[in-house]
Amino acid sequence: MSVEEATAAAAVGSGAPAGGRVLVAMSGGVDSSVAAALLVRAGYEVVGVTLRLWGGESDSGCCSVSDVDDARRVAQQLDIAHHVFNFAEEFDRQVVDPYVEAHLAGKVPNPCIECNRHLKFDHLLRRARLLGFDRLATGHHARVVTRPDGRRRIARGADAAKDQSYVLYMVGAEVLAGLMLPVGSLDKDDVRALAAELGLRTAAKPDSQDVCFIRSDEGRRGFLSARAELHPGVLVDAAGDEVGSVPAVELVTPGQRRGLGLAGGGTHRYAVEVDVPARRVRVGTAEELLVAHTDVADCVWTDGTPPAASLPVLVQASAHGPVHPAEVLVGVVAADEAATGVGDASPSAVVRWREPQRRVAPGQSVVFYDPAAPAEVLGGAVVAR
């Protein structure tokens, strides 16, 4: 794709007159660099901002200094103003602390989704409006589409392998009215080619990996053990017999097979249920992981309200995982909820799978796509248990 085509595509669907003011969240990566560049070329008045989220050490140095440097240097190349907003306190409170707590409660949280929910598309958006910007842009690989009736939705990015619509499911109509995703209609290769063509210094910068606040040398375990006490747990089979042990029950994910220390050969055995308070993990066969329905909480719908009480959807349960048909029963509480008392948020919906599916770990998000328009997001929720 040429620079001209990409520039035109960047402005498409924005509904904003050229010359309007756009605040671009610049992470220091190639995607948001190109996003900013395309908006500048399309005639918008662009201001770049980098969020200082994690104040501790990371793979890119303390306070992610090198990423901030990259963002600032790209902004200089584009001759746009660049600011740094210090959201470290909010990030700790709304992303990091809940991340630790969720693990201690036996859940597998997705901090990137919570960061989008609380920081980028709430705190930053409100900040942008306060500062006089009615438009916010990011470098996500997803698109904002406008339906024939004028309503907007998040849709999958053009590059299926890089699609980030999954982590944007919480973006509602009100946010979509002012959101621009300039690289969503580009393949990643095109993004890099454009960055190179425009001479942006981030053109060859590797994609970011994993959770930004966890250093690769310490890992999830090192991070959590520095902030909370992790406990050894026992592995038991269906009969309740002890078959092994793990050093930290909080780090076991339902569906996990590797790292349980179980001998290979024969039938693979998986973590089927993780009971953190009892420090016990039940292991079993792949068949035992299959569930007919999944209780979810914190449902959000792009249009604000669920489209129907019972809604056919395509469900994606991980960032780049497959989609499976299901039905969302909104407002349904599982029959055994009161009896078990499990979960700290009451499920606000039940996902009834068309075919039994492998369990999705509590804390993970499930995202609902429209069967009639499979690229488009209807909403999503967090698995309760």
**Which residues in 116-145 contact other proteins (CB under 8 A)?**
126-127, 129-132
Q: Is 62 considered catalytic here?
A: no
Among 3, 8, 12, 84, binds other proteins (CB under 8 A): 84
Pairing of strands 290-301, 349-358: antiparallel
Considering CB under 8 A, how many residues would be counted as binding other proteins?
A: 20
Name the minimum Å distance from CB 52 to other proteins: 4
Shortest approach of other proteins to residue 78 CB, angstroms? 17
Sheet containing strand 135-137, strands side by side = 81-86, 45-52, 21-25, 135-137, 179-180
Note if 212 is an active site residue.
yes
Q: Which is nearer to other proteins, 90 or 295 (CB)?
A: 90
**Interaction of residue 83 with other proteins, rule CB under 8 A:** yes
Q: List the alpha helices (DSSP H) in 124-171.
A: 124-130
CA–CA distance, 44 with 48 (Å, rounded to integer):
12
If the CB atoms of residues 130 and 239 are measured against other proteins, the closer one turns out to be 130
> Considering beta carbons, is residue 85 or 368 the nearer one to other proteins?
85
| Contact yes or no for 379/299 (Cβ under 8 A) | yes
CB of 274 to other proteins, least distance (A): 37
- Among 85, 121, 223, 368, indicate the residue that binds other proteins (CB under 8 A): 85
Give the list of residues 6+ apart from residue 126 with CB closer than 8 angstroms, or none: none
CB of 134 to other proteins, least distance (A): 13
CA distance 255 to 240: 18
Please pick, from the candidates 5, 43, 76, 86, the single residue that binds other proteins as defined by CB under 8 A. Answer: 86
- Indicate the residue among 129 and 257 with the shorter CB distance to other proteins: 129
Distance, in Å, from the CA atom of 80 to the CA atom of 70, rounded to the nearest integer, reads 14
Question: Smaller CB distance to other proteins: residue 71 or 281?
Answer: 71
* Ranges of H-type helices in the chain: 3-11, 30-41, 65-78, 88-91, 97-104, 111-115, 124-130, 173-176, 188-197, 219-225, 337-340
Q: Can you state the angle between helices 3-11 and 30-41, rounded to 10 degrees?
A: 80
The residues in 42-81 that bind other proteins, with binding defined as CB under 8 A, are 50, 52, 62-65, 68, 72, 81
| Residues with catalytic roles | 115, 212
Q: Where on the chain is the footprint of other proteins (CB under 8 A)?
A: 50, 52, 62-65, 68, 72, 81, 83-86, 88, 126-127, 129-132
